[in-house]
Structure 1
Amino acid sequence: MRLNSIVAYLASGCLLASLCGCATSPGTRAQSGSDSMTGESVAEAAGTMAVVKQITPDLIAKEHSTREFATESAIGNLVGVPGPYDIGSGDVLSIIVWGHPDLTNVSLAGDAALNDGIEGRASASPSGFVVDHEGAIQFPYIGRLPLAGLNEEAARQLLTRHLQKYIKNPSITLRVQAYRSKRVYVDGEVKSPGLQSITDIPMTLMEALNRAGGLLPTADQSRIRLSRGGASYRINLPQMVERGVNPANILLAAGDVVKVVSRDDSKVFISGEVISPRALAMRDGRLTLNEALGESGGINPASGDASRVYVIRKVGTELVIYTLDAKLPGAFAVAQDFELNAKDTVYVAATPLTNWHRTISQVFPGALSSAVSAAGTRP
């Protein structure tokens, strides 16, 4: 078979069939169940079902509302009013009964040592009344006295009522000598990750970060994750400040885990027919599709198909593919409002002619250029 016949056969047969198979998105095949009203359809990508959505102003407005609702819900669940510290199991209490030194068990000199680095001094015996695992202390005359869940003033009043049966008008000073019952854990891009004890100073998000030495330059302030009771909340500090919400109003609870994500984990990947494929770091958690294409040099005019721009995103267990026809008027204005998420992949498909040329070049290396040269020298 002559060379020209082979080229014509591949171009008209199996090659075109393969190109038609990826007309919906790279590596996808359109399925039934598309909705022309919403611009959504279902496709199969590498054996995984994916939802395909067209990027339109309506879709952008819907996603923006979803983001706003999620942010407001998270902030609403985390903002609280600080209250007095409640005594818990493991705390060490300093109790002074004035005029009765035999009832006093306290060492003021050891307070700082007990509060700072208590984990590293487990062998030291704290002087004071230790609240046991059932939330009670043993006090002379009274015996077992439950105090867990009470603040210092309520605990003092309870102790006074019990002790006045044995002492007339007792004058009592009660305070927490060492805070050991409630802690939060700060991890990630902070100077000193680790446990932070909740004290009489309200443990807010900013207090916890400051105690951990502050954020490192590699920290992504827009992706601070707070885990509480099986739920996870994303905190965007720049966004909160922009909206006039004070991050110090976010009150932490015992058992909370705060993780500051690294900027390296907040990247968007640009591939396909762009001038300079790369991974782009998001700026304070924000990067639009237009900015991503611009920073990668734009769509390659020689090989890129501007009508097939895709954003591939994993949402939970679901794969979502957003499509944009950049040839349409106003398409880049729409792209400027479409916000990307961390780990998104932006892919620009090649033109059918580019795919055809590459396939021929792989099947017959140098055959296409030889055929063109032969045709050019034909008399």
Structure 2
Amino acid sequence: AKGIRVEIPLRGASVKGWGITGEGMEVLFTAKPRTPAPGSAYQMGVGDRLDISVFGQDDLKATLEVLADGTVSFPLIGVMPVAGRTLAEVRAAVETRMKEFLVDPQVSLDIKDYQSQPVNVVGEVEKPGTYYLKGPTTLMDIMAQAGWMTKDAGSEIIITRHEAGSGTDGGTRQIPISKDDLLQGGTQYNPRLQSGDVITVGATQYFYIRGEVVKPGQYKLEDRPTLMKAVSIAEGLTPYARKKGIEIIRTVSGSQTKLVFDLKSIEERKASDVPLLPGDVIIVPRRLF
């Protein structure tokens, strides 16, 4: 029998094609248009892999990769540029081209593997590695994929971003995000990521305070502490402490340096307070009398 095609509206769907062949009958149901899924605005790029199929045309089913020049070689219609275009745009273009060869082609096109927009997560997370953006993706989204932070994670997350510049290499910019701010929410603390971003979660860093303080020991280097704040964290000076001649032993590139400060001058605002660095050792001397 000769094939016939009809369109019959149904409740919630329509029969777009009805073909009678020697092997039987084919019916295609097309549901009402759905709200675009999250990530539907994703723009395809080099390395992405696509699954394509055409209803009733098994020989046109294939998995294709976006090549280095941003094109894909589709079955039947040949090469087409897709980089920088959304899935909906490419699907519509493919259907238009296929109409030159087929009657009312029903094309199914999906992204099988997202490979063109990588971000790297390194440091103190449960699953460090390379992740791929699948549309608008925030820092919190990627942190969730990476299993969040380990117990040894510090208080700050650094996003290193490549910036376009006048030269061929451009430059980089670092965006610090406080872990507490990220957890509290707000778009300013949960930025949208870009392809090529590197997210670094450092380990907890410490400073050390010894000598004439109430509670000498090791403390977390959080909220950019200073010498005065460190003394406060250690619950203050003992009655025998000498404010003049407090030492900070600092190690930079494997070399130790001794810095000497007068805490009284800092308290009286005659001298600037001293920001601490990771690994600083503060030594509060004892009065001789």
**Shorter-normalised TM range:** 0.5 to 0.7
- Residue 249 of structure 1 and its aligned partner are, at CA, apart by 3.6
Residue matched to 2:133: 198
Match of 1:259 among 178, 184, 200: 200
Q: Distance in 2 between matches of 1:101 and 1:312?
A: 73
Going from structure 1 to structure 2, the CA distance change for 1:164 and 1:194 (only over 3 Å counts) comes to same
Going from structure 1 to structure 2, the CA distance change for 1:294 and 1:328 (only over 3 Å counts) comes to closer
- Residue 291 of structure 1 and its aligned partner are, at CA, apart by 4.7
Q: Distance in 2 between matches of 1:89 and 1:280?
A: 47
Going from structure 1 to structure 2, the CA distance change for 1:92 and 1:281 (only over 3 Å counts) comes to same
- Residue 277 of structure 1 and its aligned partner are, at CA, apart by 4.7
Q: Distance in 2 between matches of 1:83 and 1:231?
A: 29
Higher relative contact order (CA 8 A, sep 6+): 1
Q: What secondary structure is seen at the aligned counterpart in 2 of 1:305? A: coil
Q: Distance in 1 between matches of 2:109 and 2:161?
A: 31
Going from structure 1 to structure 2, the CA distance change for 1:92 and 1:193 (only over 3 Å counts) comes to same
Does the 8 A contact of 2:177 with 2:189 survive in 1?
Answer: no
Does the 8 A contact of 2:226 with 2:276 survive in 1?
Answer: yes
Going from structure 1 to structure 2, the CA distance change for 1:246 and 1:311 (only over 3 Å counts) comes to farther
Q: Distance in 2 between matches of 1:172 and 1:90?
A: 21
- Residue 93 of structure 1 and its aligned partner are, at CA, apart by 0.7
Any gaps of 5 or more consecutive residues in structure 2? 1-38, 163-171
Residue matched to 2:152: 218
Going from structure 1 to structure 2, the CA distance change for 1:184 and 1:286 (only over 3 Å counts) comes to same
Query: What is the aligned residue count?
Result: 236
Identity %: 29
Q: How does 1:50-69 map to 2 (within 5 A)?
A: none
Match of 2:46 among 72, 89, 112: 89
CA shift digits 1:7-58 (9 cap, x unpaired): xxxxxxxxxxxxxxxxxxxxxxxxxxxxxxxxxxxxxxxxxxxxxxxxxxxx
Amino acid in structure 1 at the alignment position of 2:217: R
Match of 2:220 among 271, 277, 281: 281
Note if 1:103 corresponds to 2:60.
yes
Residue matched to 1:153: 88
- Residue 274 of structure 1 and its aligned partner are, at CA, apart by 4.2
Residue matched to 1:172: 107
Any gaps of 5 or more consecutive residues in structure 1? 1-81, 106-127, 355-379
Does the 8 A contact of 1:241 with 1:247 survive in 2?
Answer: no
Higher strand share: 2
Residue matched to 1:237: 179
Match of 2:242 among 305, 309, 319: 305
Amino acid in structure 1 at the alignment position of 2:48: D
Q: What secondary structure is seen at the aligned counterpart in 2 of 1:292? A: helix
Higher helix share: 1
CA shift digits 1:219-253 (9 cap, x unpaired): 12x211222213222210213555x5257842222
Match of 2:230 among 260, 277, 292: 292
Residue matched to 1:361: none
Residue matched to 1:60: none
Residue matched to 1:55: none
Does the 8 A contact of 1:94 with 1:177 survive in 2?
Answer: yes
Residue matched to 1:144: 79
CA shift digits 1:323-375 (9 cap, x unpaired): 554389878xx98xx87554455454566x58xxxxxxxxxxxxxxxxxxxxx
Does the 8 A contact of 1:206 with 1:248 survive in 2?
Answer: no
Going from structure 1 to structure 2, the CA distance change for 1:274 and 1:158 (only over 3 Å counts) comes to same
Going from structure 1 to structure 2, the CA distance change for 1:153 and 1:83 (only over 3 Å counts) comes to closer
Residue matched to 2:264: 326
Residue matched to 1:187: 122
Going from structure 1 to structure 2, the CA distance change for 1:104 and 1:176 (only over 3 Å counts) comes to same
Alpha-carbon RMSD across the aligned residues, in angstroms, is 3.7
Q: Distance in 1 between matches of 2:237 and 2:89?
A: 69
Q: What secondary structure is seen at the aligned counterpart in 2 of 1:102? A: strand
Residue matched to 1:269: 208
Residue matched to 1:36: none
Going from structure 1 to structure 2, the CA distance change for 1:171 and 1:329 (only over 3 Å counts) comes to closer
Q: What secondary structure is seen at the aligned counterpart in 2 of 1:154? A: helix
Does the 8 A contact of 1:206 with 1:247 survive in 2?
Answer: no
